[in-house]
């Protein structure tokens, strides 16, 4: 009997293995592989492409793939990618991100940053998947030089790996059309991490139109293209052909400066609006055309022909066309511009006028309340012998007073959410505006708030508590579309503040028509407002001086007649103060503080800071194309607009050039030694021991052939710095032992044919202060009529 029962149970157990439902086969079984950047290499503070390969071996899946990412210590969000997968289907998704980093204040990175939500991220549930749960690229500093190449034969351009760029922190080369299982990005943000794109006899015009459009937008927003020349270049370059700076003719063998032997070179002329970069004896070898905030540089010879690229001096000659792209993290304490703005601009922008309550009014209400409740109420009730009513009247008056105070303080917050938008923008060569913004929202209810912006405007969220361990995707979620993106600020509390920050490029926005002349220590002329919005507090920014000249409505022109202190306008220099950690006392100071933070922050981002004067102005129009969806909001804005200019000069007779009229350039000799500008003083640097080359360049407006220099004065400080001055005639450096030497007859010997004064600094170990004011120069001379 027992044997029969045992056999029955064994048989039942065996059959159950086949009859029990298999849950694993009734649910999606998904594997995710991910990569970031190009060849899984990314650059801090730069946009990049993200690629996900998603394979489903189970039942059909519909939902969102979510990446929770941090851009900096203070900025981060989630990014949602909708995905539908049939059983057995595999898809590769590519999307652009405005940044990616491994920076976390709360400690080590989370064990998981990739999530899968079946049914969508808003109401769906998170499910498990196979594969790595985080993206793990190789990170590079912003000073690393990323060069991408489009060529059918990578060996043709292999010498470019030996580029000598002194201020860069290494060079990475990517052969884009040789990358396996990688599609060239179609979103402009994905190209942001690339500094230079080299095109060498490649059919660029065969690329998809969406890719060509993204590359052009990348150039307009600050990218740089370098190309050689071929007989069919106009057809090969697709949508970039109209920006070629050279008009090509016949081919002849000519020796290119820097190369040893002659190579085939096109006879070329520079098109109107372009600038020659390399020429000799009437032959143009290279020219550059500005395109928005970027450029296209064309050589009049082939970049990759064996007769060219195999020559000994090729890498050195080409290095001058790949200068390191300027970054300003050193002057911002190592922070990116957006990270820096979270404190400098964001902390002030998150203060709303409705936060202020009139102290005299509140005090008057309290005194009136005390007066009514204590003596008046007591006398009245005692006179009427109704003192027992006090038990009802006192609580009722207290409640009504509280309601009144609440209504008075909240009258501006109850109706609609409030938005404060603050940013700064620079006008580029094509009348576009490129800059950064902070968009702060004061909620009038709890819940989600959704913002929409075009592809040319990035959005990321300020992390409310930088020491919180909350995942960024729980605070804000970004969804990217073909033309627009949406960012949802999640679960905001009632009357709370949260900020969206980013970079924006506004195409064809307008400019200032600037026609100014400097003569006889006067600056005169006109400024016309060609923007579609009014501007105020228009100023000429020269040195640390701001000359206020008025305000303008669209299309209006104002006349300028101001006194200056020299024959040349000095380049713009740092001015302003930080409000990030200072209390703002009242509403009147609030807008002043917002403008002051813009002024102090924007200088480091201006493309010609320290090289050119600027016209700046403020507008109260909300020019950043970011809107709050499904709800009306009251918007208050202030934006700084900056445009560089070159005044016409009348230079003849005696002239004095102070150091602020000269352009300063400092590099480490032999690409060794560290230095850092440690304050708003452009001449104060922190140095580690080493050799450094310091160059002062005269303004372009001075015609050197008409100039006679009668005195060069040098001021040097720092006990641990040895200074040598380059003598052009002897071709060698001369050590300067005096503290404040002046050269009269020999002055001209220290000024090169291109207006450069070169100094070499040898910095030794210092037991005292490693911060040094670099040597300053002052020139006196005569300009012939």
Name beta bridge partners: 492.
447
pLDDT (tens digit per residue) in 24-69: 445 788 999 999 999 999 999 899 999 999 999 989 999 999 999 9
- In 3D, which of 383, 444, 397 has the Cα closest to residue 419? 444
- pLDDT > 60? residue 580: no
How far is Cα of residue 70 from the mean position of the Cα atoms in its chain? 16
Q: Which long-range contacts link 730-737 to residues 24+ away (Cβ below 8 Å)?
A: 733/760, 736/775
What does the alpha-carbon distance between residue 598 and residue 618 come to, in Å, rounded to a whole number? 10
pLDDT (tens digit per residue) in 342-352: 888 888 888 88
Dig out the tokens for 319 from the structure.
């290095």
Output helix, strand, coil percentages for the chain, rounded to the nearest 5: 20, 40, 40
pLDDT (tens digit per residue) in 260-319: 899 999 999 999 989 999 988 889 999 999 999 899 999 999 998 888 988 988 988 898
- In 3D, which of 743, 601, 750 has the Cα closest to residue 680? 601
- pLDDT > 80? residue 127: yes
Interstrand relation of 512-519 and 653-657 (parallel, antiparallel or unpaired)? unpaired
Return the higher-pLDDT residue of 214 and 654. Answer: 214
pLDDT at 371: 67
What does the alpha-carbon distance between residue 152 and residue 167 come to, in Å, rounded to a whole number? 30
Give 518's DSSP letter. E
pLDDT at 398: 76
* Terminal-residue alpha carbon distance, the chain: 127
pLDDT at 355: 61
Percent of all residues in the chain with a pLDDT value above 70, rounded to a whole number? 86
CB proximity list for 653: less than 8 A, separation 6 or greater: 782, 783
Query: Which of 16-20, 100-104, 545-549, 781-785 reaches the highest mean pLDDT?
Result: 545-549
Return the higher-pLDDT residue of 332 and 310. Answer: 310
pLDDT (tens digit per residue) in 390-429: 777 777 777 877 777 676 666 666 678 999 999 999 999 8
Phi-psi group of 120: left, alpha or beta (phi > 0 → left; psi -120 to 50 → alpha; rest → beta): left
pTM: 0.83
What values do phi and psi take at 229, rounded to 5?
-125, 140
What values do phi and psi take at 198, rounded to 5?
-105, 125
What does the alpha-carbon distance between residue 346 and residue 338 come to, in Å, rounded to a whole number? 9
pLDDT at 23: 44
Mean pLDDT of 107-122: 83
- In 3D, which of 489, 505, 498, 481 has the Cα closest to residue 624? 505
- pLDDT > 70? residue 671: no
Inter-residue contact 460 to 472 (CB < 8 Å): no
What values do phi and psi take at 640, rounded to 5?
-95, 130
Inter-residue contact 486 to 501 (CB < 8 Å): no
Give the number of other Cβ atoms within 10 Å of residue 138's Cβ.
11
What does the alpha-carbon distance between residue 146 and residue 298 come to, in Å, rounded to a whole number? 19
Measure Cα distances from 726 to 121, 391, 657, 667 in Å.
Answer: 65, 93, 19, 16
Inter-residue contact 572 to 612 (CB < 8 Å): yes
pLDDT at 579: 47
């Amino acid at each position: 009997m027992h044997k029969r029962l045992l056999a029955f149970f064994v048989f039942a157990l065996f059959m159950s293995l086949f009859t029990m439902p298999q849950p694993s086969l009734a649910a999606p079984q998904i594997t995710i592989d991910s990569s970031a950047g190009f060849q899984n290499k990314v650059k801090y503070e730069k946009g990049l492409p993200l690629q996900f390969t998603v394979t489903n071996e189970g039942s059909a899946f519909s939902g969102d793939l979510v990446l929770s990412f941090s851009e900096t210590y203070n900025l981060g969000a989630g990014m949602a990618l909708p995905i539908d997968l049939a059983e057995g289907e595999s898809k590769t998704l590519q999307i652009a991100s405005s940044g990616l980093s491994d920076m976390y204040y709360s400690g080590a990175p989370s064990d998981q940053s990739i999530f899968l939500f079946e049914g969508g991220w808003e109401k769906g549930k998170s499910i498990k998947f196979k594969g790595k749960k985080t993206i793990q690229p190789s990170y590079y500093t912003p000073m690393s030089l990323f060069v991408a190449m489009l060529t059918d034969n990578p060996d043709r351009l292999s010498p470019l790996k030996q580029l000598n760029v002194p201020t860069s922190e290494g060079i990475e080369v990517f052969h884009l059309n040789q990358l396996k299982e990688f599609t060239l990005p179609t979103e402009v943000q994905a190209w942001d991490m690339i500094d230079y794109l080299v095109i060498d006899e490649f059919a660029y015009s065969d690329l998809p139109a969406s890719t060509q459009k993204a590359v052009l937008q990348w150039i307009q927003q600050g990218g740089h293209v370098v190309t050689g020349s071929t007989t069919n270049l106009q057809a090969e370059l697709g949508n970039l052909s109209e920006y070629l700076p050279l008009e090509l003719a016949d081919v002849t063998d000519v020796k290119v400066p820097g190369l040893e032997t002659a190579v085939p070179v096109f006879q070329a002329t520079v098109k109107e609006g372009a600038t020659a970069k390399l020429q000799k004896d009437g032959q143009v070898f290279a020219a550059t055309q500005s395109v928005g905030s970027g450029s296209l540089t064309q050589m009049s010879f082939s970049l990759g022909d064996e007769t060219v690229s195999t020559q000994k001096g090729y890498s050195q000659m080409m290095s001058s066309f790949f200068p390191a792209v300027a970054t300003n993290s050193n002057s911002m304490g190592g922070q990116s511009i957006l990270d820096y703005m979270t404190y400098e601009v964001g902390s002030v922008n998150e203060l709303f006028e409705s936060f202020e309550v009139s102290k005299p009014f509140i005090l008057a209400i309290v005194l009136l309340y005390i007066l009514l409740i204590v003596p008046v109420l007591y006398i009245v009730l005692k006179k009427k012998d109704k003192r027992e009513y006090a038990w009802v009247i006192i609580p009722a008056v207290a409640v009504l007073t509280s309601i009144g105070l609440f209504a008075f303080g909240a009258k501006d917050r109850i109706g609609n959410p409030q938005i404060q938008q603050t940013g700064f923008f620079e006008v580029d060569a094509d009348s576009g505006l490129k800059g950064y913004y902070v968009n702060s929202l004061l909620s009038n209810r709890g819940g989600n708030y959704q913002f929409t912006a075009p592809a040319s405007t990035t959005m990321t969220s300020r992390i409310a508590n930088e020491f919180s361990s909350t995942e960024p995707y729980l605070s804000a979620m970004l969804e990217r579309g073909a033309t627009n993106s949406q960012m949802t600020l999640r679960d905001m509390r009632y009357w709370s503040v949260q900020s969206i920050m980013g970079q924006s490029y506004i195409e064809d926005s307008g400019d200032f028509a600037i026609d100014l002349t400097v003569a006889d220590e006067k600056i005169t002329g006109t400024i016309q407002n060609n923007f579609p919005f009014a501007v105020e507090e228009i100023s000429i920014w020269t040195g640390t001086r701001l000359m206020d000249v008025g305000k303008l409505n669209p299309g209006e022109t104002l006349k300028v007649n101001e006194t200056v202190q020299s024959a040349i306008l000095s380049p713009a220099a740092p001015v302003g103060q930080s409000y990030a950690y200072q209390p703002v006392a009242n509403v009147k100071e609030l807008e002043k503080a917002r403008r002051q933070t813009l002024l102090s922050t924007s200088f480091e981002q201006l493309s010609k800071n320290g090289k050119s004067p600027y016209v700046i102005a403020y507008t109260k129009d909300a020019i950043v194309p970011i809107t709050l969806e499904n709800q009306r909001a009251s918007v208050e804005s202030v934006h700084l607009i900056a445009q560089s200019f070159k005044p016409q000069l009348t230079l003849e007779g005696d002239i004095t050039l102070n150091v602020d009229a000269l352009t300063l350039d400092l590099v480490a000799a032999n690409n060794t030694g560290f230095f850092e500008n440690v304050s708003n003083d452009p001449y104060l640097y922190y140095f580690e021991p080493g050799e450094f080359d310091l160059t002062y360049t005269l303004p372009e407006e001075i015609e050197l052939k008409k100039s006679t220099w009668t005195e060069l004065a040098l001021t040097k400080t720092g006990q641990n710095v040895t200074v040598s001055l380059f003598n052009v005639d002897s071709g060698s450096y001369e050590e300067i032992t005096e503290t404040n030497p002046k050269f009269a007859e020999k002055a001209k010997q220290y000024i090169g044919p291109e207006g450069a004064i070169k100094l070499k600094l040898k910095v030794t170990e210092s037991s005292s202060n490693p911060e040094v004011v670099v040597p300053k120069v002052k020139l006196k001379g005569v300009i012939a009529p």
